[in-house]
Amino acid sequence: MAKKAGAERAAAAESCARKKARVESEARAAASKITVNLDHKLLECSACCSPLAPPLFQCTNGHIACSECRTNAEYSCSLCAEPANTRCDIMERVLGGMTAPCSFREFCCSATIPFTKKLTHEESCLHAPCHCPIPYCRLYANSGRSLCEHIETKHCLVPYGDATAGSLSPVTLSDNEPVRLVFLDARAMFLLVVERCVPSGRAVSVVQLVSEPVKEEEEKDFKYKIQVHTRAGVLSLPGETQSSGG
């Protein structure tokens, strides 16, 4: 019994020592970080005003430019035309150590990401807000689910039709009909939008409405081909849907 009790005390002491070491390590890591407030313009490209991301280059007058702007300006500064051949290693190191919250935190995204990955994250953030694609509707939804619910309730009179994957399904719209809901095999919902107030005459858009993230293996189902029949002939338009869901 004494031997067992001694082993338990040793195990408890070892566990306590590990916890103490972890707490001290976290404290040292926290102490090595500082929080600063910066004007966001200081972290933008001098030319295109996009957030800076490596590789970065600096001209002789101190202007910092992203690689794309430097290339477009034929390796010169687009602001002063001076050569921009100096790699800005210090700024790249600063950006590499920075983190930032997602811009959609007010829509419940709690992610904190490396600053250089911020744009990439926000392009696919599931909490990104979206507009109702129906013309003249001003809704600014905070998720795909609320957008789908909005269309089903506020636009309940929008005509709908069915389509079958892998085949062309006829959809006829009248001149005064701007939108049509299309259900694919009763499992996916799309919005066919016809814009008439465009310089070229008319524009046709297909918007996928989803309330949940689309699985990668299902993305192939959401490619489409539109055939427009007119007196002059048939116009075929292939494409991929744009997700307006969260």
pLDDT in tens, 168-194: 777 777 777 778 888 877 666 777 777
Same domain, residue pair 198 and 235? yes
Calculate the alpha carbon distances from 163 to 88, 166, 224 in Å: 54, 9, 11
Residue 83 DSSP code: B
At 217-234, the pLDDT tens digits run 555 556 777 777 767 766
pLDDT at 245: 45
* CA–CA gap between residue 184 and residue 161 (Å, rounded): 9
Report yes or no on 72 lying in a domain. Answer: yes
pLDDT at 156: 82
Count of CB atoms within 10 A of residue 53's CB?
21
**Residue of 204 and 45 predicted with greater confidence:** 45
Same domain, residue pair 233 and 135? yes
pLDDT at 45: 85
pLDDT at 108: 82
**Whole domain around residue 72: which residue ranges?**
41-96
Report yes or no on 219 lying in a domain. Answer: yes
When pLDDT is cut at 50, 70 and 90, the band that residue 244 belongs to is: very low
Report yes or no on 5 lying in a domain. Answer: no
Element (H, E) at 104: none
Same domain, residue pair 73 and 137? no
* CA–CA gap between residue 205 and residue 241 (Å, rounded): 8
**Average pLDDT, integer, range 101-110:** 86
**CA nearest to 79, candidates 56, 59, 52, 51:** 59
| Beta-strand pair 179-184/160-163 | parallel
At 114-157, the pLDDT tens digits run 988 888 888 888 788 777 878 778 766 665 567 777 887 888 88
**Residue of 206 and 150 predicted with greater confidence:** 150
Question: What total of structural domains would you count in the chain?
Answer: 3
Report yes or no on 11 lying in a domain. Answer: no
At 23-60, the pLDDT tens digits run 666 656 555 667 777 787 888 888 888 888 889 999 98
pLDDT at 246: 45
Same domain, residue pair 200 and 117? no
